[in-house]
Amino acid sequence: MTGGGTQRVGIIGWPLGHTLSPAMHRAAFQALGMTDWRYDALPIPPDQLGSHLRQLRDEGGYRGLNVTIPLKEVVLPFVEADETAAALGAVNTIDFRTKGGHNTDVGGLLADLAAHELHLPRRRTLVLGAGGAARAAVYALAQAGAVLAMHNRTVARAERLIAELGAQVELLQAQELATWRPQLVVNCTSVGMMKEGEPRATEQSPWPAGVPIPTMMTVYDMVYRPARTKLMAQVEAQGGRGISGLGMLVQQGALSFAIWTGREAPVEVMRAAAERDLYGGGEA
């Protein structure tokens, strides 16, 4: 028990849709006997963000929030961003006690890669995509000392990301991917993700058609639904290793948990809850 009445945290986004965060955090609270904590899903339109944040903090008694799309950038003027969040231009965790804005995606990715015993210094690592997830991945992997390359269909967007982060990243065309011979590929696109109303979406892969897939490499796919993507299957067929990005979601949530509560999160409990909520009785 934490004492002092109900301790509220939650997640904001618009539209919020289905999120795994409530299931993960509620399971963590239960496992640690924190029965006076609750986690809520709070859809907030971007044009009403400021007033809602003040209400949640001052009247709702919320200790902190997770932030998801499209509010990660919009929330910046309302918080004091830490070094990582400022560098990425995106916040995914707010601590109302300090007005702190944090981005735990970087730490979440590095924690999950470490959990899979992937040694990053000098590892040849290819990042696919150039959106917000790719920005966090490049920032994290550069800090860890990986040798980086990037591929994105829109070259200008990738060039802008590299310039804004000031990272040492080689920009590759599709035909160069195989000859560059990455040891690790991090898919930061949504290609291959299960989508409502698009039954064939999971048959897609972000790896360019006709480009050979190097043997014995590892792919870390931030897509976690389905649990085994086409890209993972392609890499495994070449003797490589496929890793789902669900662990990154869990690890970044665990870091948010620690910020709010001051306690170490029960990561395995949170992962089990996420898997139950996402896959039900089996993997989808």
Cβ contacts of residue 24 below 8 Å, gap of 6+? 250, 253, 270, 271, 273, 274, 277
Instruction: Give pLDDT tens digits for 111-144.
Output: 999 999 999 999 999 999 999 999 999 999 999 9
For the domain bounded by 107-244, which CATH number is listed?
Answer: 3.40.50.720
Residue 46 dihedral angles phi and psi, to the nearest 5°: -55, -35
pLDDT in tens, 7-55: 999 999 999 988 999 999 999 999 999 999 999 999 999 999 999 999 9
Q: Are strands 169-171 and 147-151 parallel, antiparallel or unpaired?
A: parallel
Please list, residue by residue across 164-179, b when 16 or more beta carbons sit within 10 angstroms of its beta carbon and e when fewer do.
ebebebeebeeeebee
Q: Give the domain ranges of the chain.
A: 7-103+252-279, 107-244
Comparing C-alpha atoms, which of 221, 210, 134, 227 is closest to residue 174? 210
Q: Active-site positions? A: 72
| pLDDT at residue 282 is higher than 90 | no
Q: What's at 210, amino acid-wise?
A: G
Q: Right CATH number for 7-103+252-279 from 3.40.50.10860, 2.60.40.10, 3.90.1170.50, 3.40.50.11750?
A: 3.40.50.10860
- The whole-model pTM stands at 0.94
